Amino acid sequence: MSDNLPAIPGMNTGGASTGNGFLALAGRTAQLAASALFLKEGMHLLRSHMQANATAAMRLSEMCGQAEVEPRFTSMIEDTSAALTAVAEASGEMVNAADAVDTDARGFNQAHEREYRPGYEASNGSGVRQAKPGFYRRTGRR
């Protein structure tokens, strides 16, 4: 678990979580959504930083052209500006991907909650040990 993510109740704290319980699964998907949000925030910062650097490099290239600096150096600066612009665009694509992961994880969590919360509550409220998940599912045979 990342140090910069909040602790999520129901999560196993020792390394990789192996539990498939209701709370463990909900916790892992909540952690996935939180990680996507942190990634999205970082990519927004990277994008604005790279755009600012690309603009500064282009401005420097124009000043070098006016100062009649050797064209190969001006060209290198323009190439750098283009590369920084490409990084900014790619970080925008990462923002879109992280947003999709966040949306999907939240959707999964909501569906999981709707489907399994009543059984989880009934199981915990009864005081009786319940069968493993999936035991009561129909297999198609009677």
In this structure, is residue 70 part of a structural domain? yes
Q: Which residue has the higher pLDDT, 2 or 79?
A: 79
Give the CB-side neighbour count of residue 35, counting CA atoms within 13 A.
14
Tens of pLDDT along 11-65?
A: 444 444 457 788 888 889 999 999 999 999 999 999 999 999 999 999 999 999 9
pLDDT value of residue 126 = 76
pLDDT at 97 > cutoff 90: yes
Residue 30 lies in a domain: yes
Q: Is residue 106 part of a domain?
A: yes
Residue 136 inside a domain? The answer is no
Taking the C-alpha atoms of residue 95 and residue 37, their distance in angstroms, rounded to an integer, is: 9
Q: What is the sign of the dihedral through the CA atoms of 136, 138, 141 and 142?
A: positive
Q: What residues have CB less than 8 Å from 74, skipping those under 6 apart?
A: 61, 64, 65
Please, what is the average pLDDT of the chain? 83
Q: What is the pLDDT of residue 11?
A: 47
Q: Is residue 92 part of a domain?
A: yes
- Structural domain of residue 77, as residue ranges? 22-122
Q: How far apart are CA 48 and CA 137, in angstroms?
A: 51
Asked if residue 47 is part of any domain, the answer here is yes
Domains held by the chain: number: 1
Q: Is residue 75 part of a domain?
A: yes
Domain for residue 141, yes or no?
Answer: no
